[in-house]
Each structure stands twice: as C-alpha cells, then as structure tokens.
Structure 1
C-alpha cells in the first residue's frame, strides 16, 4: 500500500525542521507516543536505529526506526518495523514564498501475518493516522498545542 500526504505549516522551514528533528517533541504531536531509545549508531545519523514505543488503544506497540537519509532541512527518510508491519517513509520540507513550509510525506506499507488482513480490509486507517500526526504537528508548530493537553 502506498500513499502521499501533504500539509502547509504557517511557519518558516527552519522552525518547522527544528521541531520535527527534536525527539523530545514527539510526545507533543504523536498521540500515544511513550519513548524513544537509541539502539544502534549515533542518534539522527544515517544507518542509526531507535526503538520507539507507543500505546495504541489498550496495547503497547514497539517499532524499530532505521534512518536511511537525514539531510534536513530538505529530507528525512526512514523505515519503521513492528510486528507484521513494515513502513518506508520519506518526509520533505519545502519553503514557500509566503514564509510557510510545505511538508510532503510519502508512505509505503507492507504487511505480514495477521496484519496482512488488517491492511487489506482497513487501508484507510493508516492514511488517516498519518494525516492526524501531520495535523497535530502543524498545531504544535503553529500554536504550541500539544496532544498531551487533550
């Protein structure tokens, strides 16, 4: 499954990328985020890996992030692997003439095991979650609104 999302953030790219690249900010725009722990390489560098933990509904989800490309402010690409789910993601940040930032996110998912059924019957759930994260990030950057305040 592949899809593309984009959103315009009403702040300059430098500010947007600074907030995006700071792992301490994940809790403010990714609802359910619990922790991030470096497990291989230097944090933020290409080839490095992190263990991410989330609470989704009543279950804890762990995934391994592998950074493929980090040439911010232009692009950040990574893979995310969890039980039954593999996600390849490219994020690009483009400044606009109006001193806003266009965030493009390209996603490709592959499923295995039980998640193959979930991915087949509910593909919109993944796109909806990606869109929600982008909207929450926009609110965090523009208005300092945190999902922790909900």
Structure 2
C-alpha cells in the first residue's frame, strides 16, 4: 500500500525543516510520542537507527536519506508493519512551504493488521495526515511567536 499526503505550512522552508528534524519537538505533533532513543550510527545520518516509543507502540527507524530541507527518507519497522516514509519540503515562497509525505507499506504481519488493512485502508492515510496537520499547526504557532 502506497499513498502521498501534502499540506502547505505558513513558515519558511529552512524553519520548517529545522523543526522537523529535531526529535525534541515530536511530542508536540505526534500523538502518544514518548521518546526517541539513538541505537547506532551517526545521529541524523544515513543508516542511523533509533527506537521511537509511543504510548501504544515501538518502532525502529533506520534513516535511508537525510538531505533536509530537500528530502528525508527512513524505514520504520514494527512487529505488525514495515514501511518507508519519504518527506520532501518545497519552498512555495519566502514564508510558505509545501510538506509532502510519501508512505509505502511493504509488510503487514498478523491476522488483525491484515483485516484492518483490507477493511479500513484509509485509516493509515488519515493518521499520517493528522500528524502532518499537527505539525503544520505547531510550525505556524512557533513561527508566529518568533516573528
């Protein structure tokens, strides 16, 4: 399953990119986020691994590409799913940025997750878009505080 979500953010591309790559801010836009623990590699670089802990799940993130503000791509592994996320930021103007997230699920493990995928495929896209909307709100709020 593959899908793309996009949203415009009223803040400059470099500002948006800096907020996106800072794990301290994840708690402000990803519901249930608890922590990000570095496991191996150079933090923020290709092949770096981290454990992302949320209230209801844990993911292992492996960075594939990190050329922000242009592109970020990572592999996310969970006991029930495997997916990649590719993020691009495009400057629409000096103060407006398009945030594009392309998600591709490559594995669903377990009966329940396979049933959910078949019955409610849109729930995965809705969750990604919700976090993107949360990030937009966070960025715009933080940017307006400083300008």
Which TM-score applies when normalising by structure 2? 0.92
- What's the offset of the Cα at 1:104? 0.7
Aligned pair count? 141
Partners of 2:16 and 2:52 lie apart in 1 by 22
Q: Partners of 1:6 and 1:118 in 2: how far apart?
A: 24
Cα distance per residue 1:93-146 (max 9 Å; x no partner)? 0101353000111011131213222212111111000000000000000013xx
Separation of aligned partners in 1, 2:114 and 2:60: 19
Secondary structure in structure 1 of the residue aligned to 2:102: strand
Q: What CA distance in whole angstroms lies between the structure 1 residues aligned with 2:10 and 2:93?
A: 11
Map residues 1-150 of structure 1 onto 2, 5 A cutoff: 1-55=1-55, 60-97=56-93, 99-109=95-105, 110-114=107-111, 115-144=113-142
Q: Does the 8 Å contact 1:65/1:81 carry over to 2?
A: yes
RMSD in angstroms over aligned alpha carbons? 1.3
SS at match of 2:42: coil
TM-score (norm 1): 0.90
Unaligned runs of 5+ in 2: 143-147
- Deviations along 1:69-114, whole A, 9 cap, x unmatched? 0001100000111011011110000101353000111011131213
Unaligned runs of 5+ residues in structure 1 are 145-150
Q: Could you list the runs of 4 or more consecutive aligned residues of structure 1 that deviate by over 3 angstroms after TM superposition?
A: none
